[in-house]
Amino acid sequence: MLVQVRSDRFKTRAWGFNGGSGGSYARAYLNPGTPQAEELPSKFIRVFGEGDVFRAEMAGSGGYGPALEREPEKVLQDVLQGKVTIEHAKAAYGVVINDHLELNEDATKKLRAQYTNVQPDERAASVQMN
């Protein structure tokens, strides 16, 4: 099958407003999760073979307002509704949610105090390392 893709936001993110962080980048992959996996460019024309899998990740919009000011209960609701992961809640919002999907208020206060002078991208990296 001949596939043509013309996409954007692979190199620049949508901006946030009123202190919100930028959105996520778009990405495209051929046969993700396999030894033959390949990250594809934003624009291409290519022949895909039988059994090939194409994965497109659309760019996310930017945030509104500082993430560390979002009410922890609202972040918990986002997790419960499947909008964000527990890991993202911790990295982006400084909200600690345990494996039983309960908010840990004390740990959240401590983590947010640590995050006060740390940029969002640095917070994400520190959570991935731990």
Domain range summary for the chain, segments of one domain joined by +: 2-57, 67-129
pTM: 0.68
pLDDT digits (tens, 9 = 90+) for 74-128: 999 999 999 999 999 999 999 999 999 999 999 999 999 999 877 766 666 555 4
pLDDT digits (tens, 9 = 90+) for 36-86: 999 999 999 999 999 999 999 999 989 999 999 999 999 999 999 999 999
Per-residue burial over 63-99, b if 16 or more Cβ lie within 10 Å, else e, is: beeebbebebeebbebbeeeebeeebbbbbbbbbbee
How far apart are alpha carbons 56 and 62 in whole angstroms? 19
Non-local (6+) Cβ contacts of 64 within 8 A are 16, 17, 18, 20
Non-local (6+) Cβ contacts of 40 within 8 A are 5, 28, 29, 30, 46
